[in-house]
Every structure is written in structure tokens, then in C-alpha cells.
Chains A and B, each alone.
Chain A
Amino acid sequence: MNNSDNSNRHMISILMENEAGALSRVANLFSARGYNIESLTVAPTDDPTLSRLTLVTSGNEQIIEQIVKQLNKLIDVVKLIDLSETDSIERELMLVKTKAVGEQRAEMMRLSEIFGGHILDVTESTYTIELTGPGGKLDNFLNAVEKDAILEVVRSGATGIARGQKALHV
């Protein structure tokens, strides 16, 4: 999906029963009904009977409305929120392995600092950098680094939470 076109990008956060098969029900729904899915993250919550699943999708208003309705229809889905509809915080974790030789070492360190990254691992010729932020910021980092210097990129997919007093819980 095109990240610059944020108008139809939606981040939907779901509380669901922490049961075998719940994740596949969500994934199945998206493939069966032909909905876009850009990223998906899932993990148990503080309440071990519940998992929290966050997915990023896109579509016009009508499609998003159907996605939300279809998700709600799944028996395992307890509650959900479209974070794009409220003031919310989005975060994604990225691990990047870059080349770091000669002048590149200082340059890479400087870039990492600018983006608030941490260098987690250092060898003679590489750095492994950790960055968090909204997806757009991570994209910007990758754009700022010379293409050839990137050896490997791992992104967790976006996750998020509403700002203020609003909380998604049962």
C-alpha cells in the first residue's frame, strides 16, 4: 500500500479470545473477502484469555465499514476499535542491518541518532540498528540511508493505542 496516501489507510485494533484458530479466522476473513492487509501483529495481553491484534488495511469508507462489521461478526472477536478514527499513537519496531565500513560508520551512527535509533550490534563491517516510530518515520530512515548500505530490514508491523482516556478493554 502507498503510505503517502493516508486517507484510506486504517489501523484496526482488536481484542479477541486467546484461542487456537482465532488468528486464522481473522486472516481467513481478509483473504476470503479480498480485503487488503498491509500488516498484522498479534500477542496476548495482560489478561491471558485475550489477545490483541492490530492490523493495517486500506479501502474506501464502504469497504472499511464492511471490514469492521465482518470482524465484529467473528465469534472470537470481543471488541475492536478503528484507531484511524480517533486521535491515536502508532508505533512500529524496525531492525536494520547496514553496512558500516570506513566513512559509513560515522554517517550511519549520525543518521541513527537523528532518528532516535539504537545501535544494538556492531561488527567490523556492519551495524544493527533498532528504530521505533510510526511507519512513515521508518520509511524515511530507509530512504535516508544509501540503498547499497542496507543488508536486511525487519519490521514488526504497526501497532497502536488511542490517546487520552479512551481504552480498549472488556
Chain B
Amino acid sequence: MEPITGAEILVRCLQEEGVDCMFGYPGGAVLHIYDALYAQEKIKHVLVRHEQAAVHAAEGYARASGKTGVVLVTSGPGVTNAVTGIADAYMDSIPLVIFSGQVPTALIGNDAFQEVDAVGITRPCVKHNFLVRDIKNLAETVKKAFYIASTGRPGPVLIDLPKDITIGKAEFHYPKKIKLRSYNPTIKGHAGQIRKAVDLVMSAKKPMIYTGGGVILSDGSTELVELTQLLGYPITHTLMGLGAYPATDKQFIGMLGMHGTYEANMAMHHCDVLIAIGARFDDRVTGKIEKFCPEAKIVHIDIDPSSISKNVQVDIPIVGSVPNVLRAMISVIRDEKLKPDTKALEHWWRQIDEWRAIKSLSYRQSDEVIKPQYVIEKLYQVTEGKAIITSDVGQHQMWAAQYYHFDRPRQWINSGGLGTMGFGLPAAMGAKLAFPDQDVACVTGDGSIQMMLQELSTMKQYYTPVKIVNLNNGYLGMVRQWQEFFYQKRYSMTYMEALPNFVMLAEAYGHVGMRIEKPGDVEGALREAFAMKDRTVFLDFITDQSENVFPMIPSGGGQNEMLLAERDEMVSTHEEGMVLV
């Protein structure tokens, strides 16, 4: 076999991995790679306008499609710009492979031009990373990276590539299979544990199913729906888990956690058996740990042992992958014809329906000013609940999660763990590239959108027509809300006094801009925008500046201590709660 350059080897590896789309930004250290990309057509490379956007776009692509996202950045500032995105992918367990250019091997450590210790900087926020020191290891390293990123608990893997490695030559062999002696995720659950779990689950009088991002990541939705319906138990999702079970089904009782529904949080608080599936007991979910599910015995299914009993001690841990473990549980239940305690369940549902009747997501409509919740409700109607929705971070994110009812997995794409403002727009671009035929909308805020606004230019170049739904409240609303509640309305640095004219901005980038100020115009504007299939439309909705996200569990509160809109006086949280974010 003819030896080829490292850059060519890299491109061949990507082709072998079936990569059809990647996101990146060139620079000196990766020029050889860009030259090799130029010579082929199989892989589409999207030139973003900022490396952070490359990573978020790859995340959007990965979350929408289930494939591994691929990013290429240059050394030095290229890598440092990408770090926020990498940390975001790490927190939300998104499979990515990031290639970063590096100064030539001989110059490493010399403070060479555009040198940073990429492996060192990213170590705390990657699943794993590599520095390739010998071209002979290049192909195998790429194979390992894709394997590690996409298996077990997924996550970002970075490969740092010194420039000389991309120039040097070697024969290309892509390993068919890879085996790592030190990495072997457990997929199949332990039969004994599954048996115990089924016994506990069937004995429940007030059961609760709580699922998270792990169900989406593992494509375990089919099994989850089957099990949930077989049992007839109530189910709630975390912010990252929305769409795993259809939100429009009556067994779904809404999102849980800080801004979850009253019924979901109350049911959590009062349940006697909690079945946690691919969720990591985040502090935005548990509230005060000591008050979390005080009466429940807990089963926890997770592929990552370190997620289990990290924050909350559980009774029956099962390490394994969601679809596998759920299938095993379903088999036991079916084979042995086990039946839930219908009497107790009826009673439990009656209780839950009472909580539901409180209608914790109701809000006061207005004829004068656009309510942000209303925009999302209309967005839901106009898109018939079928669009892929990405979101930025803030109040608008919570409203999107609460009022758009996600019926399928991979329909809802947002930044949960890191909460990265700026995520939404590039993620929407990535999702649209994965599914050009589907409607994609980015729900954003006046603050967040300005963090990655430059990507409007990329979206023009690569023709990714998405609809941008800007809930423009003229504030860093989520922060303003906390200042209102917990800092006696001292609005320190949360008013964006000099917002740009978003309509003109959109037009400057070659897109369509619309400004909507009246509640009566909301639906019409959305219809008009979605009718423009081939255009990116920036919908700037001027919304109620003082609206707050409800319900809310103030930090440090228990799940039964929710504050409801217009019913509860907002009070400062407990002292200990104030330290939480």
C-alpha cells in the first residue's frame, strides 16, 4: 500500500467512520488537514464563525441524529475557543470527536506560536483525550476516539494533532474493531438485581418513574414506553429527558425539578417506589437532598456506576444500558404475568389528578403585551408539535420545556448541565443539517442570542433555514428573576439597555427579520415564518418584561415546597439555599 500523509489518513478515517458532516475553522496548524479535505467530497465541512459554535453545532447534530459529532479546530485560540462547547458536551454526555491542531512535535513545550496544552486544558471536561506522537498510531487513535465517544456513557473525546503528524507519511490501515483492556462499559444489567428491582416495582403502592437524558442517549424510548404502559405508572422527565415518553399521553405528568410541574414534584415527594432511569439526580431535580423522596425505595438504572449513589443513596442499583435493562424487566413481568396493585394505583392516580387540577402551568393571558408562554404555545400549535426545538439558556428555555409538549426523543435539544448561553443557534444549525426536511426552531432570548449571533452568517452560507424565536424581554430574565426574588429587586447588570434592532441584523445577514409586539400578531407571524420553508427567519417577539418562570422550587427547598404563580409570596430562600445556583 502507498504511504499517504497523516492529513489524508485522518480524512480516510473519518470516511471509514461514516462521517458525512463536520464543523470547524482553519488555521496554521491544521492547514494540511484542510488541504486533504479540499480533495474529497464525501464529507461536508461547515465553516462556522467561531469555534465554540462548531462544537455546539456538532452537539446539535449529534443530539438530533444520534451520530457522533465531529469538530476540527486549529491550535491555540482555536482550541481555547472550543473549550466551552467541549465542557457543555461533557456535562450533557454528548458523543463528539474533536480534532485540534498542535504545533509540531519538536516545538511542543517551547511556547511556540499558537501553542496551548490542549490535552491539559481539556482534560477535566472530556471523556478522554489523546496527543498523537507517532503517525503510526494515528488511525488507531481515531478509531479509539470514536469508540470511546459513542459507547458507554457518551462524551467528547479530543485528539490533538501536531502539524508534523499531518504532514508525515504512513500506510493506511483502519482497524475493524477495537478492544481496550481498560474500558469496557457494562451494557447488560445484573439478572439478580433486575429480579429484585421487578419485585420492588411490582409491590409499589405509590410508584413513580423518573427518567433522564440516558433514555434519549441510548435510544431506549421504545422500551420505556412499553414498560410504562405495561405498569400504568406515572412518569416524569428531567429537562434532558423530555420526549422519551410522549408528553401528550396522560401517564406523563410533566417535567420535574426546580421549574417542573406541581404534580411531578409532589408525586416525587410522596412516592413509595422511585424508578430512576438514565438520570443523574442533579441538584436542580432533587432540591434539598435531605428532603428528597423521603418515603421512597429507589431503583436506579444507569450505565455509569459513578452516577449511582453519587447524590442520593439508592436501594437497588442496576448498572447497564437502558434498553437492555428495561427489556429484561419487561420479560420478567410478562413471563411471570406480574400485575401491579391496581387498587393502590387507582388511589394514587386520584391523588395525582388532584395535584394536576391545580394547573401549575397556568398563566394570566394579556391583550396588551405578549406573554412568553403564549408564544411557545402558539409555536407548538403552528408546528403541530413536530418541530425540532433547540434552546438557549434562561427563562425562555424553561418556557420552551414547559409549554412545547415533546412527543418523541431527540426533538428537544438544549444545554442542561453547563447551561451555556449561546448554545441554541449553532445547535439549531447542526440539527437542521442532520434533518434538512424537518422544521427546526431555536427558542432564544435577547441575551443568549447575542452570544453566538455571528452564526447567522454560517447559516446563510450553508443554507440551513431555521426559525429563530426570540423571546425578547429586554432582560437577562432568569437572572433578573432571581434578583427580584432573592435580592430585593436590586437589578444589578441585568438590563440590556442597548439592544440591537434584530430585524435589521437578520436582514444584514441575508435573512428575514420580523418584530412582533401584539399578542394578536403572534400566531400569524409564526405561520408566515414557517411558510417560508427556505428562509431563516428571525422572529423578535417583544414580551412581558416582568414575567417569571413558575412553578419554582427555590434553591434549598424540598420538592413539596413549590412556589406557584400569583399564589405564593416570593421569599428569600433559606440561607443555605442562597449558595446554590
Q: Given A62-B309, A66-B306 in contact, is the A75-B124 Cβ separation under 8 Å?
A: no
Q: Given A62-B309, A62-B313, A73-B306 in contact, is the A32-B124 Cβ separation under 8 Å?
A: yes
Of B123, B129, B181, B310, which contacts A66 at CB under 8 A?
Answer: B310
Cβ of B449 within 8 Å of any chain A Cβ, yes or no, is no
What is the minimal beta-carbon distance from A78 to any residue of chain B, in angstroms? 4
Q: Given A20-B131, A65-B309, A66-B306 in contact, is the A75-B183 Cβ separation under 8 Å?
A: yes
Cβ of A70 within 8 Å of any chain B Cβ, yes or no, is yes
Residue in chain B with minimal CB distance to A71: B306
Residue in chain B with minimal CB distance to A21: B119
Cβ of A28 within 8 Å of any chain B Cβ, yes or no, is yes
Contact B127 A75 (CB under 8 A): yes
Q: Given A62-B309, A66-B306, A69-B305 in contact, is the A76-B124 Cβ separation under 8 Å?
A: no
What CA separation (Å) do A17 and B182 show in the bound complex? 8
What CA separation (Å) do A73 and B306 show in the bound complex? 8
- Which residues of chain A from 69 to 83 have a CB within 8 Å of any chain B CB? 69-70, 72-73, 75-78
Contact A75 B182 (CB under 8 A): yes
Chain A residue contacts of B308, Cβ below 8 A: 69
What CA separation (Å) do A43 and B97 show in the bound complex? 31
Residue in chain B with minimal CB distance to A16: B182
What CA separation (Å) do A73 and B307 show in the bound complex? 11
Chain B residue contacts of A78, Cβ below 8 A: 181-182
What is the minimal beta-carbon distance from A51 to any residue of chain B, in angstroms? 12
Question: Most chain-B CB neighbours within 10 Å: which of A17, A28, A70, A75?
Answer: A75
Cβ of A25 within 8 Å of any chain B Cβ, yes or no, is yes
Contact B182 A77 (CB under 8 A): yes
Residue in chain A with minimal CB distance to B319: A69
What CA separation (Å) do A120 and B506 show in the bound complex? 79
What CA separation (Å) do A72 and B308 show in the bound complex? 14
What CA separation (Å) do A70 and B123 show in the bound complex? 14
Contact B309 A21 (CB under 8 A): no
- Which residues of chain B from 429 to 478 have a CB within 8 Å of any chain A CB? none
Contact A73 B128 (CB under 8 A): no
Contact A28 B306 (CB under 8 A): no
**Interface residues in B, total, Cβ within 8 A:** 20
Chain A residue contacts of B124, Cβ below 8 A: 28, 32
Chain B residue contacts of A20, Cβ below 8 A: 131
What is the minimal beta-carbon distance from A33 to any residue of chain B, in angstroms? 10
What is the minimal beta-carbon distance from A18 to any residue of chain B, in angstroms? 11
Chain B residue contacts of A17, Cβ below 8 A: 182
Cβ of B553 within 8 Å of any chain A Cβ, yes or no, is no
Contact A25 B309 (CB under 8 A): no
What is the minimal beta-carbon distance from B179 to any residue of chain A, in angstroms? 13
- Which residues of chain A from 40 to 76 have a CB within 8 Å of any chain B CB? 62, 65-66, 69-70, 72-73, 75-76
Chain B residue contacts of A170, Cβ below 8 A: 181
Cβ of A24 within 8 Å of any chain B Cβ, yes or no, is yes
What is the minimal beta-carbon distance from A73 to any residue of chain B, in angstroms? 5
**Nearest 4 pairs between A and B by C-beta?**
A69-B306, A78-B182, A75-B128, A69-B305
- 5 cross-chain CB contacts under 8 A: A16-B182, A28-B124, A65-B309, A69-B306, A69-B308
Name 15 extra pairs, CB < 8 A, besides A28-B123, A69-B308, A77-B182: A17-B182, A21-B119, A21-B131, A24-B123, A28-B124, A66-B306, A66-B310, A69-B305, A69-B306, A73-B306, A75-B128, A75-B148, A75-B182, A78-B181, A170-B181
